């Protein structure tokens, strides 16, 4: 199971596969996956970096992220790095609904 799906195991498929915008209740459920990830990782000292990433990679520099509303340098550096990689992945990933990805070079769409 890919990393980004592991902790979404408790999120209903109806929400994960939704093609329309999520309502507030559905977003609340979706945002809960970061806490699920932290719970899966646990409290062991050897996993502390992974736990900080799980809890911090959806925080925003301006404090508008989730789950804790951290801002600026209060967001762990490793979580900020993973957040950048996550955005790059989303922008370049090819999907059924976006055959070229959101950010791609000119050329023919993949077969």
10: in domain:
yes
Please give the pLDDT value at position 53. 92
Give the C-alpha separation, 102 to 41, whole Å: 31
**38: how many CB neighbours lie within 10 A of its CB?**
20
Residues contacting residue 2 through CB under 8 Å, at least 6 positions apart: none
66: in domain:
yes
97: in domain:
no
Residue range 21-44, pLDDT digits in tens:
889 998 888 888 788 888 888 778
Residue 73 pLDDT greater than 70, yes or no: yes
Question: Looking at the 3D structure of the chain, how many domains does it have?
Answer: 1
98: in domain:
no
Residue range 43-68, pLDDT digits in tens:
787 888 999 998 999 999 999 999 99
- pTM equals 0.68
108: in domain:
no
Residue range of the domain that includes 50: 3-92
Please give the pLDDT value at position 96. 63
What is the CATH classification number for the domain harbouring 49? 1.10.3210.10
Question: How far is residue 74 CA from its own chain's centroid?
Answer: 19
């Amino acid at each position: 199971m890919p990393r980004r799906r592991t902790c979404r195991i408790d999120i209903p498929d109806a929400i994960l596969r939704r093609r329309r915008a999520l309502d507030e209740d559905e977003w609340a459920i979706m945002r809960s996956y970061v806490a699920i990830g932290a719970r899966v990782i646990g409290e062991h000292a050897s996993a502390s970096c992974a736990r900080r990433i799980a809890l911090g990679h959806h925080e925003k520099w301006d404090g508008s992220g989730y789950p804790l509303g951290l801002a600026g340098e209060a967001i762990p550096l490793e979580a900020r790095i993973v957040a950048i990689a996550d955005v790059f992945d989303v922008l370049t990933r090819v999907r059924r609904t976006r055959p070229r990805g959101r950010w791609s070079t000119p050329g023919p769409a993949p077969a």
